[in-house]
Structure 1
Amino acid sequence: MKKVITTTNAPAAIGPYAQANLAGGVLYISGQIPVDPGTGNLVEGIEKETHQVMKNLKAILEEAGMTFTNVVKASIFLKNMDDFAVMNEIYASYLDADSYPARETVQVSCLPKNVDIEISMIAHQD
């Protein structure tokens, strides 16, 4: 059975999708972009954008009763691969080195609202 996970501590979906779905103990989190859920505004600059995306993901994980240690897979989309090192350092600061998820990072030509980063995650309940 699927359970839709929604929190006001992360941006509302900007299309016909859920923030996340929990099914069979697996949480599928939709791609998060750097929207501040309190204001609805985009944050700018890869450092601020990465922090906001990770905060949005954390809020969704918490709503599902999970943390970043539950994440088994992350997909990162960057508009410019030159931002990789900065993004990677910030991304890693939210994670426990003993439980890094599997991951890919790809450069794309455009993202929703023309942001520089989007991250989706898959997490598993313990």
Structure 2
Amino acid sequence: MSETKDIRNSSKAPEPVGLYPHARKVGNLLFLSGVGPRERGTKKIPGVELDDEGNIISYDIAAQCHSVFQNVRYILEDSGSSWDQLVDVTVFLTNMKDDFKTYNKIYAEYFKDNQPCRTTVEINCLPTPIGIELKCMATVK
């Protein structure tokens, strides 16, 4: 993990797609930038199959959920926090109608012991061909 002032970046989570850090610490709070399911160092997105032009041929929201939750965990841990210190989660889905039930079931598995506040919204698209992104806040010990 590299740190400049209160900026936190993980060496395990996928690189940001713009000029922003993985997280920023303010007091005892950690604010995570939007986190998707991509894999670090590649353009691979677990659960997403693209054609030669980059259009989505098929996707598996369950695989994306597991991957995005792992990426959030990487950022939390590399920033001095942990999964059980999450206090607020905003979830962006690109297909609420088809994906909410699966996402909600998987979310319940990951958050059975810690239940942060949660907001889930449907959006038209995300900057990369993904179906889910999380924006999180956590405490830092």
Q: Establish whether TM, by shorter chain, passes 0.5.
A: yes
1:67 and 2:67 equivalent?
no
Report how far residue 67 of structure 1 moved. Answer: 1.5
Report how far residue 96 of structure 1 moved. Answer: 3.8
Alignment equivalent of 2:39, drawn from 36, 41, 66 = 36
**Moved beyond 6 Å, runs of 4+:** none
> Which runs of 5 or more residues in structure 2 are unaligned?
49-59
The structure with the largest helix share of the pair is 1
Flag the structure with larger Rg. 2
Alignment match, 2:109:
93
Counterpart of 2:130, as a letter, is V
Q: Deviations over 1:41-80 (max 9, x none)?
A: 1122101111110000000000122211101100000011
How many residues of Structure 1 are paired with residues of Structure 2 in the alignment?
125
TM-score w.r.t. length of structure 2: 0.82
Alignment match, 1:16:
19
Report how far residue 38 of structure 1 moved. Answer: 4.9
> Which runs of 5 or more residues in structure 1 are unaligned?
none
Q: Is the 8 A contact 2:87 2:117 kept in 1?
A: yes
Alignment match, 1:104:
119
Q: Is the 8 A contact 1:58 1:68 kept in 2?
A: yes
Alignment match, 2:66:
51
Residues in 1 aligned to 2:104 and 2:127: alpha-carbon distance in whole angstroms: 21
Identity level (%): 35
Partner of 1:32, secondary structure, is: coil
Deviates more, 1:36-45 or 1:81-90: 36-45
TM-score w.r.t. length of structure 1: 0.91
